[in-house]
């Protein structure tokens, strides 16, 4: 399958990736290979087969509505690149 | 010109469900905690964490679906909606695209006696995002994930509404249904109910819909009405000047009274939905559905009919009392304690409403107990206190939920039933006010009012006005 420049550009935007021209060419090849591999499935007739989202026949795994977690802010914020006033401090963002 | 256009409106309503914990983890949903104190690896999107569905979320979503006449999806699942924004630490929101929990419902609305149905396209479950505070001083944004993972349902209507009045009637209908179910407190101003308005206009009689815009940031019924009016005008102006409405998301600024474009279709987001592999399918079987059905409480419309049958009170009172689940509960509980329905209704309609206005409180915030109101009504019935003292005591019940018996005792507010003492006071008043006595005797019946007032004043308000009236007339007729 041929991947166009437009597709790589669009996927790059969605994934927030800034690729060099060289990387773009490589990505085009990689993506093409992946899609070719998966397109093997198109050979099968899936007309009456229900779409599957899980490999195991498990359903209805629930949790009771009981608070089990306490305040673990210190540990949680330990993963933050920047922290201030008990908050994650990130580059300014707008709606 | 204006009148030749019809407004077409559909709503997306987000409702925060009143569960104790978040939708996929055991963190508290309590509002107002210190930033990030209700967070864990699941609701901050740490790699390797595993979300597990809170059963109460499914139960509440199904309850709302049943109450809005939806079909309940028997085999559902969750999907990931992918987007990058710091309020969403996973870079995807867990939502439902392909198999929402409820579909094809409808609710009846009533605008000035005109009844119509608004169809519900679907209701799906999803998680709320965190909160960002933009700090202009440091030029950064501070993120609090306490709200991240709080359960939401999104109720998507069909484009069935034609005016702001219909939109408000529909929202009010949803609010009452959901409050009665105990599924949420539905407060627009606190964000536990949020409405996005999709609006387009078309020439009257035309079948094809016009291009719609989506309006966000509507925090009150008034803001919604103003935004609808403003957006209708804006779209008419665009079309009248020969241009085309652009499909876009707009943000309403209620203070300034206008909206501005947030993002347009050209840079529309591609959410690349796909099934969430961490969450297993949800099968709603007959047993589950029957359990929820059995648990459904009496809803507002049923309550109104029952009140009409059971209690002899005006429809107007019924509408006001049932307009808040909290008030309806107080009403019924007070009656269950033996008070006469009409009297309970009067206390709610007159004094409670007055005090609510004075203290700027919502009916949902009423915090006095039925027991204290029932006792107060009983004390008036038994003439332990008179009407004006009762009002004074009720204010204390309304604000502090005091025990009226104890309060009356401690403050010496009991009506003086000693007829000898009362007669003596009245004789003194009569002797001191010959002019009024003369007026009364010469036919000015109103003059007796002054004498009653003087007596009540002398008794420090603790007499039964009816009794004062009776004794006064007796003395004056001598």
Domain C-terminal end among B288, B322, B345: B288
B158 and B27 in one domain? Answer: yes
* Ramachandran angles phi, psi of B234, nearest 5°: -60, -45
Q: How many domains does chain B have?
A: 3
Is residue B293 a part of any domain in this protein? no
User: pLDDT in tens for each of the 95 residues of chain A?
Assistant: 889 999 998 888 888 888 899 999 999 999 999 999 999 988 999 888 877 778 788 999 999 999 999 899 999 999 898 999 999 999 887 65
Task: For residue A16, give the CATH number of its domain.
Answer: 1.10.20
How far B198 CA lies from chain A's nearest CA (Å)? Answer: 18
**Which site among B22, B32, B39 would you substitute to test the A interface, given the most A Cβ atoms closer than 10 Å to its Cβ?**
B39
Q: Is the dihedral of CA A47, A48, A49, A50 positive or negative?
A: positive
Find the domain containing B342 and state its range. Answer: 298-410
* Two structure tokens written together for A37: 């591999």
Model pLDDT, residue B73: 96
B367 and B431 in one domain? Answer: no
Is residue B313 a part of any domain in this protein? yes
Is residue A56 a part of any domain in this protein? no
Chain A touched by B266 (CB under 8 Å): no
How far A71 CA lies from chain B's nearest CA (Å)? Answer: 5
Is residue A13 a part of any domain in this protein? yes
Query: Cβ of B34 and A86 within 8 Å?
Result: yes
Q: How many domains does chain A have?
A: 1
Taking chain B, what is the end-to-end CA distance rounded to the nearest angstrom?
Answer: 78
Query: Cβ of B85 and A93 within 8 Å?
Result: yes
B100 and B63 in one domain? Answer: yes
Taking the C-alpha atoms of residue B160 and residue B155, their distance in angstroms, rounded to an integer, is 14
Model pLDDT, residue B263: 67
Check if the beta carbon of residue B171 is closer than 8 Å to that of residue B196: no
B264 and B340 in one domain? Answer: no
Q: Angle at CA B463, nearest 5°, toward B458 and B464? A: 140
Is residue B358 a part of any domain in this protein? yes
Domain C-terminal end among B288, B317, B339: B288
Model pLDDT, residue B267: 57
How do residues A42-57 score in pLDDT, each as one tens digit?
A: 899 988 887 777 878 8
* Two structure tokens written together for A71: 């305040």
Model pLDDT, residue A28: 93
- Chain B hits for A72, Cβ within 8 Å: 39-40
Find the domain containing A12 and state its range. Answer: 5-40
Give me the average pLDDT of each 10-residue run along chain B (478 residues).
84 97 96 93 94 97 97 95 90 95 96 95 97 86 95 97 96 95 91 94 91 92 94 94 91 92 66 92 96 95 93 91 93 94 93 93 90 93 86 92 90 77 82 82 81 82 80 80
Is residue B123 a part of any domain in this protein? yes
B447 and B385 in one domain? Answer: no
Model pLDDT, residue B303: 94
Domain C-terminal end among B386, B410, B434: B410
3-state secondary structure of B258: strand
Chain A: residue nearest B139 by CA?
A: A92
* Two structure tokens written together for A82: 């920047």
Check if the beta carbon of residue B188 is closer than 8 Å to that of residue B204: no
B153 and B11 in one domain? Answer: yes
B223 and B264 in one domain? Answer: yes
B311 and B244 in one domain? Answer: no
Model pLDDT, residue B409: 85
Taking the C-alpha atoms of residue B388 and residue B87, their distance in angstroms, rounded to an integer, is 55
B235 and B330 in one domain? Answer: no
| Complex ipTM value | 0.89
DSSP B98: S
Model pLDDT, residue B437: 82
pTM of the model: 0.84
Query: Cβ of A79 and B46 within 8 Å?
Result: yes
Model pLDDT, residue A94: 65
Is residue B207 a part of any domain in this protein? yes
3-state secondary structure of B173: helix
How far B272 CA lies from chain A's nearest CA (Å)? Answer: 9
């Amino acid at each position: 399958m041929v991947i166009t420049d437009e597709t790589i550009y669009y996927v790059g935007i969605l994934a927030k990736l800034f690729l060099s021209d060289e990387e773009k060419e490589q990505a085009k090849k990689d993506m093409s290979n992946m899609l070719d591999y998966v397109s093997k499935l198109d050979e099968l007739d899936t007309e009456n087969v229900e779409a599957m989202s899980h490999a195991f026949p498990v359903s209805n795994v629930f949790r009771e509505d009981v608070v089990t977690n306490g305040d673990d802010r210190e540990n949680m914020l330990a993963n933050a690149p920047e922290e201030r006033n008990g908050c994650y401090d990130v580059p300014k963002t707008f709606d | 010109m204006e009148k030749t256009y019809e407004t077409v409106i559909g709503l997306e309503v987000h409702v925060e469900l009143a569960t104790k914990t978040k939708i996929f983890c055991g963190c508290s949903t309590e509002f107002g905690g210190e930033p990030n104190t209700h967070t864990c690896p699941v609701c901050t999107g740490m790699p390797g964490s595993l979300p597990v569905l809170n059963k109460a979320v499914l139960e509440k979503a199904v309850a709302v679906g049943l109450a809005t006449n939806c079909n309940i999806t028997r085999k559902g699942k969750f999907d990931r909606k992918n987007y990058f924004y710091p309020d969403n630490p996973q870079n995807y929101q867990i939502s439902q695209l392909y198999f929402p929990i409820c579909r094809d419902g409808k609710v009846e609305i009533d605008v000035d006696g005109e009844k119509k149905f608004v169809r519900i396209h679907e209701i799906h479950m999803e998680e709320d995002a965190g909160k960002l505070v933009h700090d202009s001083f440091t030029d950064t944004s501070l993120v609090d994930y306490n709200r991240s993972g709080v359960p939401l349902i999104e109720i998507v209507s069909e484009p069935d509404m034609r005016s702001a009045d219909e939109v408000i009637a529909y929202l009010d209908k949803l609010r009452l249904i959901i409050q009665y179910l105990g599924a949420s407190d539905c407060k627009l101003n606190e964000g536990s109910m949020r409405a996005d308005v999709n609006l387009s206009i078309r020439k009257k009689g035309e079948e094809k819909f016009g291009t719609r815009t989506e309006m966000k940031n509507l925090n009150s019924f008034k803001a919604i009405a103003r935004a609808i009016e403003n957006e209708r005008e804006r779209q008419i102006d665009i079309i009248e000047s020969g241009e085309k409405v652009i499909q876009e998301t707009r943000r309403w600024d209620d203070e300034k009274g206008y909206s501005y474009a947030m993002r347009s279709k050209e840079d529309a987001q591609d959410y690349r939905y796909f099934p969430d592999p961490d969450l297993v399918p949800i099968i709603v079987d007959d047993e589950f559905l029957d359990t929820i059905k059995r648990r459904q409480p009496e809803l507002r419309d049923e309550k109104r009919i029952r009140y009409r049958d059971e209690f002899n009170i005006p429809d107007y009172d019924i509408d006001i009392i049932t307009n808040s689940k909290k008030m309806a509960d107080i009403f019924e509980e007070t009656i269950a304690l033996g008070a006469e329905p009409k009297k309970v209704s009067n206390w709610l309609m007159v004094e409670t409403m007055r005090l609510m206005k004075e203290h700027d409180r919502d009916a949902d915030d009423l915090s006095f107990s039925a027991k204290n109101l029932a006792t107060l009504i009983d004390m008036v019935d038994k003439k332990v206190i008179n009407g004006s003292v009762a009002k004074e005591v009720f204010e204390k019940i309304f604000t502090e939920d005091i025990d009226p018996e104890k309060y009356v005792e401690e403050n010496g507010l009991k009506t003086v039933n000693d007829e000898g003492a009362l007669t003596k006071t009245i004789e003194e008043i009569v002797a001191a006010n010959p002019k009024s006595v003369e007026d009364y005797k010469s036919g000015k019946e109103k003059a007796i009012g002054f004498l009653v007032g003087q007596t009540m004043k002398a008794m420090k308000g603790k007499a039964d006005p009816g009794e004062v009236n009776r004794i006064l007339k007796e003395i004056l007729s001598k």
